[in-house]
Structure 1
Amino acid sequence: MILITGPLWSGKRDFACRLLGCGREELAAQAVWDAQELAAGCDDLEALAERLAGKEVVILTEVGGGVVPTDPQVRRDREAAGRLGCLLAARASCVVRVFCGLPLVLKGEL
């Protein structure tokens, strides 16, 4: 599995499309995006990470780099997204961070 991460609107989906040789309309069939949303309210992040690790590409938006929300549930969801990112990165053969449309390989090779 290739994990693609980075801030919101950084070019993650466009990079995934180039990597997979598909258009945006075909991306859903080949990749999981917005994986951080799956972490929200998830009771078993390990099981979720195991399920996602079977996909070809997983896209996870970094959500914890800003102001700490006052709402406790939003804080828990952000923490779950961060923990899911760690679990996915450990399972991934390749981790790529995309920033300003530029991919930076953090682990493995493309």
Structure 2
Amino acid sequence: MSVDQTAKSKNEFLDKFSHLNSRIETALGRHDFDCAMKIDVTRRQMLHEFTNNVVPDGDKTFFDTLEKCAADNARAITQIKLEMNRMSQASGRKIKFLHGYRKGNA
């Protein structure tokens, strides 16, 4: 593969990878975890295939873009975990309240 072809394939890969990353964040924002998981599987498969076909050449921009996508996903996952913990605590309080209410009205 020529240098120009490698650069073009890396740019195409990064565009697709970034697009899938954005779709994952959108799905997580909608709390559509099934969709996010399916997109992530596609993205991981694409990354695996790309790295098997293109030898890393130390391209800083390429790796910086991949790291930014990874950081964006880590941030989204952290946010989702915080929301899930908050919802779990709120649900726990409501269940305790309902349990107490039932005992009081039995």
Q: TM-score, normalised by structure 2?
A: 0.31
Structure with more of its chain in helix, by fraction: 2
More strand by share: 1
Bigger-Rg structure (1/2): 2
Normalised TM-score (structure 1): 0.30
Comparing both chains, which one has the higher relative contact order based on Cα–Cα distances under 8 Å and sequence gaps of 6 or more?
1
